[in-house]
Amino acid sequence: MLIGEVARRSGVSTRMLRHYDSLGLVRPTGRTVGGYREYSADDIRRIFHVESLRSLGLSLREVGRALEDPAFTPSALVGDLIQRTEERLQREQELLDRLRTVDASTPSGWEGVLRIVELLHGLNSPSAARRQQAVLAPAEDVPVPAELLAAAVLAESDANVAGALRWALARAGGDGVASVASGVYSEAVEIRRRAVLAIAELADSPGAAAVLTDALGDEDATVRKHAALALGSRGATAAVPTLIAMVVEGTNDIEAAELLGTLSVDPACTDQIMSALATELTTANPAVRIRLAQALAELPVPLAQDLLQQLAEDHDRSVALVASTFLDMLAKPPSP
């Protein structure tokens, strides 16, 4: 079969067939009476082999090696192609995300587009200092999409950069809580921790309290701690059990005790706090009872006095001394 007929039937152009010939991929093995090269049935089968391998993404050089190498194994080739395709799809997904981010910023001109692209490059830098600089650089009146900052917050492992990102997210406008809330429900504990820290700085925004309340039930103590501190500082009584647990465990116990003192002023919360503290005082651990005494000292005197008196008679001298000291301090009139 002559080259023109092969091209018509195979769909491979005559130019490409000649290119295959020059590379040694498919060389017509026959000759006509007139001396023209003629493709045999085996040559045509080889053309379809080449085209099939090319359709999988192989270069012509790789196709040649695959056809000539006697040790060639299709499984190794397919595995390599899968990896390369996944990498290509990841790059294309990153490009798509970048384009969507630029579009979401609704830039009014090329300066706006370039600003967002510059920020994206900065946030993807391997240098923590460069990432932080990108966040803190002047915005030049170009709004940064909250979705972009939220994604960076959830991915950032450097504490300084993460702090800058949370600061920027809190000032970006838009629905920052919705943008980062999904992180609170992630399977990865590090992402949940980053998300709850970000929402803590957005705690006055609509929807933040509900997400933080959900975080109080997290299996990770750090997530629960950040949620309780944020909620407690805003008067949310849902934080009380976690704040009590923080005092008992000695985790940010001073902050937790101060918040319990503030919350105890609310009559709706007083009984809950006093009942929980009284229950915890039955512990056999003197160090815990000392922390509970410190927490009681943060409460209004009428509430704390009875339990502190009980601790002042504790069989452990250290506990009794701390409680007695607090009782003396509370008994003194405030300085004028």
Report yes or no: 31 and 43 within 8 Å, Cβ to Cβ.
no
CA–CA dist 293, 280 (Å, integer): 11
Look at phi and psi of residue 207 and say left if phi exceeds 0, alpha if psi is from -120 to 50, else beta.
left
Closest by CA position to 263, among listed 233, 230, 295: 233
Which residue has better confidence, 319 or 330? 319
Beta bridge partners of 38: 30
Mean pLDDT is highest, among 48-57, 75-84, 130-139, 193-202, for 193-202
The model's pTM = 0.65
Mean pLDDT of 168-179: 80
CB 308 within 8 A of CB 319: no
> With pLDDT > 70 as the criterion, what percentage of the chain qualifies?
87
Among 123-127, 190-194, 253-257, 323-327, the minimum mean pLDDT is found in 123-127
Question: Cα 292 to chain center, whole Å?
Answer: 36
Type of residue found at 108: S
User: Stretch 180-193: mean pLDDT, rounded?
Assistant: 94
Nearest to 123 by CA among 98, 104, 142: 98
245 contact partners, CB below 8 Å, separation of at least 6? 224
Buried b vs exposed e over 16-53: b needs ≥16 C-beta within 10 Å?
A: bbeebeeeebbebeeeeeeeeebbeeebbebbeebbeb
Q: In angstroms, what CA-CA distances link 244 with 28, 149, 210, 222? A: 85, 34, 20, 15
Query: Judging by DSSP bridges, how do beta strands 37-38 and 30-31 pair with one another?
Result: antiparallel
In tens, the pLDDT along 254-292 reads 999 999 999 999 888 999 999 999 999 988 899 999 999
The Cα–Cα gap between 227 and 156 comes to: 19
DSSP codes of every residue in 210-259: HHHHHHTT-SSHHHHHHHHHHHHTTT-GGGHHHHHHHHHHTSSHHHHHHH
Q: What is the mean pLDDT of the chain?
A: 85
